[in-house]
Structure 1
């Protein structure tokens, strides 16, 4: 369930960036360990956030950014009419399905970052009102942005999980490392 960047890749910049991203993904993945669909979809705080919704959001955001960097549209187009669906499971979606999807997205991200001729290569920011017009960012910026986005939501996930059953990140790391059986 937990994806790790190859150990021999940590020494270069790409490997270091990808390992930091993988570490943050792991925090979110572990946050849903052992939970039922109902628990993962519940909102245990005043916020509208759920663990299942955070999982879906980070996978979708990561896919969308890598697609933009490739010059492709995101798999899911979000606007005011469907933005709320970015943070909740709909139409039979499950935590397991979202974890599998994110695993695929993570592999695509790693392949893209490793295949870019240079981390300094740029791509245009989307033509959206919250981005500066005619601005471009680098592949390095992309990975740093994904680390920031994922880490922010991993922190949310820590709080939500602890609110659900008291389990902390350290306990979840131990649970993930325990042999199945």
Structure 2
């Protein structure tokens, strides 16, 4: 009896025996990519359509996650001053492409900032006192994965697309 061919390993599976930092970075990048795929191919009209009673939209999720990247990595770790913004509100001139490009830029900046820290390095937090890079990674994985799940449901409501890659 032959074994059916196995699909290639996913990024999270490839790091199953890697070090802690590589695992954390890989999982965060995995969920970042899922979020961008969930809006891929949609019109701005579809991505900004409200399908639930809250202000949550696919475009708003991307905008919110961009603000989260900037708050935790750029602000807490990098010392950048946050710019006040309604991080769920999509402006008239926002497009799917511009929101995704802004998110990808924010994620790239976050990666660069993190290179200067160890997982045990801590920074001041107004609410928590001090937080480690390790804690920030776990928090961002949780936040991004939760919103990737929201995006999955909203995408299915938009055009029926389902699954990890749709």
Is the contact made by 1:20 and 1:147 (CA closer than 8 Å) also made in structure 2? yes
Aligned-partner Cα distance in 1 for 2:160–2:67: 28
User: What is the 5 A alignment of 1:9-48?
Assistant: 11-48=18-55
Structure 1 equivalent of residue 76 of structure 2: 68
Deviations 1:24-78 (A, max 9, x none): 112211111211110000012233210000000001111111122222212x225
For the 8 Å contact 1:25–1:150, the answer to whether it is kept is yes
Q: How many matched pairs? A: 153
Paired position in structure 1 for 2:130: 136
TM-score normalised to structure 1 length? 0.77
1:166 aligns with 2:149: no
Distance in 1 between the 2:108 and 2:133 partners? 16
The 2-side partners of 1:77 and 1:46 are apart by: 24
How far apart in 2 are the matches of 1:55 and 1:15?
24
| SS, match of residue 23 in structure 1 | helix
Structure 1 partner of 2:145? 151
Note the residue ranges of structure 1 that are not aligned, 5 or more in a row.
79-84, 173-181
Structure 1 stretches of at least 4 aligned residues deviating more than 4 Å after TM superposition = none
Unpaired stretches in structure 2, ≥5 consecutive residues = 1-10
Contact 1:45 1:163 (8 Å CA) reproduced: no
Contact 2:28 2:144 in 1 (8 A): yes
Show CA shifts across 1:121-178 (max 9, x none). Answer: 111113xxxx24xx10001111111111101111110111111111102461xxxxxx
Alpha-carbon offset, residue 91 of structure 1: 4.6
SS at match of 2:119: coil
TM-score (norm 2): 0.83
1:123 is aligned to 123
Within 1, Cα distance between the matches of 2:101 and 2:78?
Answer: 22
Aligned-CA RMSD value? 2.1
Report the 3-state secondary structure (helix = DSSP H, G, I; strand = E; otherwise coil) of the residue aligned with 2:123. strand
Secondary structure in structure 1 of the residue aligned to 2:87: helix
Structure 1 residues 64, 33: closer, same or farther in 2, change over 3 A? same
